[in-house]
Copies of this chain bind each other. A is one copy, B any other.
Amino acid sequence: MTAASERRVSTLVDRYLPAVRERMRASVPIVEGDVFGILRYHLGWQDSEGRPASEDSGKGLRAVLVLASCEMAGGQWREALPAAAALELIHNFSLLHDDIQDQDATRRGRPTAWTVYGLHPALAAGNAMRVVADRTLLALSEVGAPPETAAAAAAALTSRYLEMIEGQYLDLSFEESDEVTTGEYLDMVSRKTGALIDCAMHIGSLVATGDLRTAAAFGRCGRELGLAFQIRDDLLGVWGDPAATGKPVGADIRRKKKSMPIVHLFQQADPRQREWLRSAYAADEVAGGDVESVLEMLADLGAREFVQSTAAEHAAAAVRAIEGLPLGAEAKADVHAMADYFIERDK
């Protein structure tokens, strides 16, 4: 990654994120001793005793893409703030339910909400987060968006969100199977991760222009960026530098995550290898020596290069998606920088 790309993305994040966080805080009702306390805990705003905190609440990727798209398309980014906060809240809703579904104990270095408050309250808190997100999006019309734009944004969120759920469902069913192809895997990622990032760029540019064709092009750009982002994530989960990711090499192999490298490996393995893989993956956790063997098989396949080149293809498709639009040079440079950053980042 060029240092220039990273600086350019950092500049966007620094410009937008404080306003997004402020808008999110304004969205979550402050009532003591109720379900919203769980939302604030999950978002890193309070600790498990209800004391104010200021913990890591994620990269804010989706919110930044809403506001950047609004500005790239010629709009005033502050007018898209309700949409940016809404996307971030929807993302966090899905994380709350994901943690329950995956029985994950840790998120962003803290105990997950369901381990602190119990499964039922955390499930209800997830549902509440989704409603808070909807309410926040409806506020678009209060900051100047015409009713048609607000309605089109709500419709976009609803359909992309449904795609996201379909993707999560497919992801669950893939865990049970070792017959998944990389094509099927990427289709699942396009829904699970791509749909919401599509939505972010769609709505951001829609607020700026009110034009559905422009919004569709930005949406396609987001969809490809989402794919590139997730594929790079998959790569880092296997080969990431432990010093940067905080996870040991092969972490996703040990925990049997069916990410792109492993889907590719199962698909390419000869019958003997496949039999061995099945037995290694039959354990609750892939054993240390077996992790080494899997890493060697991946190396023999050139899997890392295959995964990275797939990420790069989607990053290039993201840039192409907005090429036909009459955007300024700065806007195009921003998209280039994001595409570059998404596939070269180390953490």
Contact = CB atoms under 8 A, between A and B. Distances in A.
A168 to B, nearest CB: 6
Contacts of A127: 97, 130, 165
A225 interface: no
A168 B124 CA distance: 8
Contact of A151 (B134, B138, B161, B165): B138
Nearest to A100: B123
Nearest to A151: B147
Given A138-B151, A172-B121, A131 B162 contact: yes
Interface residues of A, number: 36
A120 interface: yes
Copies of this chain? 2
Contacts of A123: 97, 100-101, 123
Contact of A34 (B97, B120, B128, B166): B166
Interface string A163-180: 001101110100000000
A167 to B, nearest CB: 10
Contacts of A121: 169, 172
Interface stretch (A152-160, A211-219, A314-322): A152-160
Interface of A: 34-35, 97, 100-101, 119-121, 123-125, 127-128, 130-132, 134-135, 138, 141, 147-148, 150-151, 154-155, 158-159, 161-162, 165-166, 168-170, 172
